[in-house]
Amino acid sequence: MSSEQIIIFDTTLRDGEQSPGCSMNTKEKLEVARALVDLNVDVIEAGFPIASPGDFEAVQMIAERFSDRSTICALARSREDDIAKAKAALANAEKRRIHVFLATSAIHREHKLKMDKQQIIERAISSVADAKEFCDDVEFSPEDAARTELDFLCEVVEKTIAAGATTVNIPDTVGYATPNHYFKVISYLKDNVSNIDKAIISTHCHNDLGLAVANSLSAIEAGARQVECTINGLGERAGNAALEEVVMALRTRADFYNVHTNIKTERLFPTSQLVSSITGMKVQRNKAIVGRNAFAHEAGIHQHGVLQERTTYEIMRAEDVGYAGENLVLGKHSGRHAFRDRVKELGFELDDQTFQKTFDDFIALADKKKEIYDSDIIALIDNRMTDA
Ligand code: KIV
Ligand code: ZN
């Protein structure tokens, strides 16, 4: 059987940015958006336009610059004014999506929305229809789906698909699900929603119990075909499913999942470094995939094994995720050649003019700073590329 594609929906700029201390200005968001496009993510959730004029501007600019390469998505609550702002921000986008959400769990219905089930259904249908007038690609999320009664969740999903939703996202908003539980939720939807084949089922897992990646993989096993995730697992509270972990799990265990993504995995490490340097959220050394220890073998017995045959202790190659090693720190005496090689190893191809400007920036920085790390070089390049 041929391998099916998993759509990678990145929400670093929306859910990731909601994480305390992670807010970014428009210029920084544009840098991250460029890195996401280079990573080849399918959908970029660029922001929540009604939230602030800054969010609106960022979605608009990202849509103008990058919507020929990735689909640009704007978030809206199930309200006319929210959806109108999302439409305005995406007006000039080539590939565009509106993502509408409305909570469905009893806790949210009673305490937050003060709406009954019928009112929820009507509001969800009308907002999907409203978004659909603007674009074909409409996503609907029943917020707190993992704590919603299954029969009611089926009804909401069926009716929003009938109203035009092309993706139905099943958020585990508070990170309450476990892998088996989430597998059952997705399977139940597949078995009980009559028109489920007309839409893509999506996962959106928060990491409060440390299970966001495991839950996302369970959902894929049950038939979900889109994963919502963030670089370095950024996101509210304990974060969202980490994009790099989901992507490398699917790639490394393609034998089991029989699916693939479009991600250029060799861009994972540089993108992780860029997001870390922009947000100031450090990546823990032993973080899977993008931590600096992720490919380091300290124990002699492991080193010996890897030297004999790398697959004895390695399930992935460092170069597959774009990690070129620690020992390549540059300083002010490193020179143009070393700098050019490093830029290439980090996966960038710069035209002569951009290279020259970035090299001048590097020399200026090296005057102030003893050692220049990959993250510094990536930031310099991204500054120059964003200016271009
Ligand atoms: O966690 C959540 O429920 C969300 C929705 C807006 C999809 O982020
Ligand atoms: Zn979320």
Residue to mutate (ligand 1; options 10, 15, 75, 169; most atoms within 8 A of CB): 15
State the Cα–Cα distance between residues 323 and 278, nearest whole angstrom.
Answer: 19
Q: Which atom of ligand 1 is nearest to the CA of 75?
A: 6
Percent of the chain with pLDDT over 70: 94
State the Cα–Cα distance between residues 230 and 68, nearest whole angstrom.
Answer: 21
Element (H, E) at 202: strand 200-205
Lowest mean pLDDT among 113-117, 192-196, 216-220, 291-295: 291-295
Q: State yes or no: pLDDT of 9 exceeds 90.
A: yes
Please give the pLDDT value at position 303. Answer: 59
- 369-381 average pLDDT score: 77
Please give the pLDDT value at position 300. Answer: 58
Residue with tokens 């009980």: 192
Task: Write out pLDDT tens, residues 341-365.
Answer: 888 877 677 889 999 999 999 888 8
Beta-bridge partners for 5: 260
- Complex ipTM value: 0.99
Q: State yes or no: pLDDT of 340 exceeds 60.
A: yes
Closest ligand by atom to 142 CA: 1
Structure letter (DSSP) for residue 299: S
| Ligand 1 within 6 A of CB of 204 | yes
Element (H, E) at 254: helix 254-257
Please give the pLDDT value at position 47. Answer: 98
Q: Mean pLDDT of all residues in the chain? A: 92
pLDDT band at 307 (very low <50, low <70, confident <90, very high): low
Q: State yes or no: pLDDT of 332 exceeds 80.
A: no
- Protein residue whose Cα sits closest to atom 4 of ligand 1: 173
Other CB atoms within 10 A of residue 310 CB: 12
More confident site: 110 or 370: 110
Residue with tokens 């004014």: 81
| Ligand 1 within 6 A of CB of 173 | yes
262 is in an annotated binding site: no
Lowest mean pLDDT among 164-178, 214-228, 261-275, 362-376: 362-376
Side-chain-facing half-sphere of 386: CA atoms under 13 Å: 18
- 219-239 average pLDDT score: 97
204 is in an annotated binding site: yes
Locate 111 and state its tokens: 């305490």
Q: State yes or no: pLDDT of 387 exceeds 70.
A: no
Please give the pLDDT value at position 327. Answer: 42
**Cβ-count burial of 202 within 10 angstroms (0-12 exposed, 13-18 middle, 19+ buried)?**
buried
